[in-house]
């Protein structure tokens, strides 16, 4: 991770197809395309790879979350349960629809705690949205059981976990809908892009319409299409989709490289008795894009993170004090700071995040360090990195 580390002639060829035709938009202009429909090709290939009946490409992972929620009928006043360790896009996508994010604790999987989910359910709850952070997954069986019992939607945010699996199913395909990001730093990248997958024909059709101003996409005359409902512009371009086609073909190779590098680093860190590793649910397989581990306490974790930096070990993250990924840094969400007036439902229903007790998550995140696993490392570089990590961590124990 990320896929841009291994760009090559495959991506150039697909992009040149688009540039030679001159058609950058995914819809229309049939006569001058020279048969190139990159978005359609990517959607078919991605659905097949993810074991799903339908795929809808969109402009970003954030767009994928918004489109999936809208396609499933989530709207103003509906509550969506999500974790307090994620990327800010998770709550942004919910609030964009006037729905209300309900943040709850994580457990040692670094994802949604099913027990916290149960406590957060109200008559307004419409959806549970686990986020498979740093390449590994939530306890999806437990969450699906909860959703079935309470007639709730299960929408997977698999933006950071493409290629992982649970009970033999690709992550994203276990719930009602699954969302992916292909931004510049993801395991496969389009530069910017995202995808929604589902086996639900109704949700698929509504996602297809919502991401393109409500167009029904019937026939070959775009100007004659009807609009069954309101929509917005979350379309992907042919250029972005073209890059994604080539990257998707490389996904299995990327995953193999990540697993090899991850394993070498984990074996080295396992020799430090004070380190434990994030829990991967039974029957789950990571995509190995990050290696996440726990130190005995927050003080040691902070010192270890500093020591790693001083040893020249880059791409190590201490999420507890990260403005993008943990509740501690989201003052704009806590205070509902917005450029314009927020929907009344959000203002009235939103939990007070300044006073909510997240001590369970704090106890976990305060001890957590995650190391990115790069694709471009040589075996020698991985070995040196592992040695440097061990040296840095042992220096503060």
End-to-end Cα, the chain, rounded Å: 30
**Which residues lie below 8 Å from residue 84, measured CB to CB, with a gap of 6+?**
103, 104, 105, 106, 326, 327, 358, 361
Q: Which two tokens stand for residue 361?
A: 């998550």
- Please tell me the distance from the alpha carbon of residue 29 to that of residue 43, in angstroms, as a whole number: 19
Query: What three-state secondary structure class fits 63?
Result: helix
Active site residue 186: yes
**Element spanning 245, H or E:** helix 238-249
- Please tell me the distance from the alpha carbon of residue 247 to that of residue 244, in angstroms, as a whole number: 5
Nearest to 70 by CA among 175, 205, 162: 205
- Please tell me the distance from the alpha carbon of residue 258 to that of residue 250, in angstroms, as a whole number: 12
CA angle 89, 364, 371 (to 5 degrees): 65
**Which residues lie below 8 Å from residue 112, measured CB to CB, with a gap of 6+?**
81, 82, 83, 104, 106, 128, 130, 131, 138, 139, 143
Q: Is the dihedral of CA 38, 240, 53, 97 positive or negative?
A: negative
Which of 38, 126, 144, 186 is flagged as catalytic?
Answer: 186
Nearest to 250 by CA among 160, 185, 189, 319: 189
Tell the burial category of 352 from Cβ atoms under 10 Å away from its Cβ (0-12, 13-18, 19+).
exposed
- Please tell me the distance from the alpha carbon of residue 53 to that of residue 203, in angstroms, as a whole number: 11
R_g of the chain computed on alpha carbons:
21
Residue with tokens 């530069």: 191
Residues with a catalytic annotation lie at 186
């Amino acid at each position: 991770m990320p896929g841009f580390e291994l760009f090559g002639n495959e991506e150039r060829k697909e992009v040149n197809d688009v540039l030679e035709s001159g058609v950058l938009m995914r819809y229309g202009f049939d006569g001058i395309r020279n048969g190139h429909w990159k978005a359609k090709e990517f959607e078919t290939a991605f659905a097949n790879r993810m074991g799903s009946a339908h795929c809808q490409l969109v402009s970003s992972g954030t767009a994928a979350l918004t489109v999936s929620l809208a396609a499933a009928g989530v709207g103003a006043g509906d509550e969506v349960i999500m974790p307090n360790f994620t990327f800010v896009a998770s709550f942004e996508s919910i609030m964009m629809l006037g729905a209300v994010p309900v943040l709850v604790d994580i457990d040692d999987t670094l994802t949604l705690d099913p027990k916290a989910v149960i406590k957060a359910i109200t008559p307004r709850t419409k959806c549970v949205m686990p986020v498979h952070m740093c390449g590994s997954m939530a306890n999806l069986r437990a969450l699906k059981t909860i959703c079935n019992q309470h007639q709730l939607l299960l929408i997977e945010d698999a933006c950071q976990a493409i290629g992982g699996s649970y009970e033999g199913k690709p992550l994203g395909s276990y719930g009602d809908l699954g969302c992916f990001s292909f931004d510049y730093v993801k395991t496969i990248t389009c530069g910017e892009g995202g995808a929604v997958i589902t086996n639900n024909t109704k949700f698929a059709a509504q996602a297809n319409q919502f991401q393109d101003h409500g167009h029904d996409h019937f026939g070959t005359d775009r100007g004659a299409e009807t609009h069954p409902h309101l929509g917005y512009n979350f379309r992907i371009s042919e250029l972005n989709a073209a890059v994604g086609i080539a990257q998707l073909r490389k996904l299995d190779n990327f995953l193999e490289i990540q697993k090899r590098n991850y394993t070498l680093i984990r074996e080295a860190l396992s020799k430090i008795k004070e380190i434990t590793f994030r829990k991967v649910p039974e029957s789950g397989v990571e995509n190995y894009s990050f290696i996440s581990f726990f130190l005995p306490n927050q003080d040691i974790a902070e010192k270890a993170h500093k020591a790693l930096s001083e040893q020249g070990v880059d791409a190590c993250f201490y999420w507890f004090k990260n403005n993008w990924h943990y509740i501690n840094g989201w003052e704009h969400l806590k205070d509902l700071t917005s450029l314009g007036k927020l929907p009344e439902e959000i203002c009235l229903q939103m939990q007070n995040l300044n006073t909510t007790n997240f001590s369970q998550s704090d106890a976990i995140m305060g001890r957590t360090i995650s190391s990115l696993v790069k694709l471009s490392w040589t075996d020698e570089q991985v070995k040196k990195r592992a040695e440097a990590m061990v040296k840095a961590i042992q220096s503060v124990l």
